[in-house]
Structure 1
């Protein structure tokens, strides 16, 4: 998944690799962080490619992923 600029594609790919749906992802996120994120809100946020970085970090963390930022060589 190198040089991917569309976060929606990243989320879809990760869900596919993990064998979960976006609904499952939202449920795990809501449970771990005691949030009430609605599927409709999440879908709209993804479609607009308008997800906040801290939310992305928490979403990925809830399913065991992390973000690794490196300087180009």
Structure 2
């Protein structure tokens, strides 16, 4: 069984990833009068990084519990 603290941390990172993707969709993009594209690209790598961290936490926790038994 996964450790409770690690599982909660993974859930927080997963929720952060979903929130970043939602914020990216909510903000949208637009082209101003001068022809410049305004888009919040920072949310995309932050979402991927959070998702990777959540998967990594679950995998390491699972590996440690399998190795311990």
TM bucket normalised to smaller = under 0.3
Considering only CA atoms, is the larger Rg found in Structure 1 or Structure 2?
2
Greater share of residues in strand: 2
